[in-house]
């Protein structure tokens, strides 16, 4: 966290120097509106808007990743339950087959004698 803060301050320093040195008024024309704004305010506001948009997009991306991870965990749980259920069924079938084999009488191969 401290590294990000230091990096942010390091990147902000040249912007602040630029803002302080460039205070001239610049006319802005947008559709029918016209106004004059300090170049420093314009640059700083553009930077601020960019930072806010970046934070919002990164937050949305992280939430998307978390939601995807939760979805995958739910799918894994469902698959594990289904696997356990199938395993129990398979064990029951094998036990049932073993019981029927034990219950059958052994003839010794002489079934044709009467």
For 81-100, write each residue's pLDDT tens digit: 888 888 888 888 887 777 67
Contact 37, 28 (CB under 8 A): yes
56-78: per-residue pLDDT in tens? Answer: 998 888 888 888 888 888 888 88
Mean pLDDT of 28-36: 89
What was the pLDDT predicted at 53? 94
Mean pLDDT of 31-40: 88
Contact 22, 40 (CB under 8 A): yes
pLDDT > 90 fraction of the chain, expressed in percent and rounded: 5
What was the pLDDT predicted at 104? 62
Quote the CA–CA distance of 8 and 48 in Å, as a whole number.
Answer: 12
How much helix, strand and coil, in percent to the nearest 5, is found in the chain? Answer: 75, 10, 15
């Amino acid at each position: 966290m401290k590294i990000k803060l230091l990096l942010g301050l390091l990147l902000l320093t040249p912007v602040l120097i630029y803002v302080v040195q460039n205070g001239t008024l610049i006319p802005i024309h947008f559709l029918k509106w016209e106004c004059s704004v300090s170049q420093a305010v314009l640059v700083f506001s553009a930077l601020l808007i960019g930072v806010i948009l970046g934070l919002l997009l990164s937050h949305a991306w992280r939430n998307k990743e978390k939601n995807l991870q939760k979805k995958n965990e739910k799918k894994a749980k469902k698959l594990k339950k289904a696997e356990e259920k199938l395993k129990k069924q398979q064990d029951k079938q094998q036990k049932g087959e073993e019981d029927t084999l034990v219950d059958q009488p052994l003839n010794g191969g002489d079934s044709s004698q009467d």
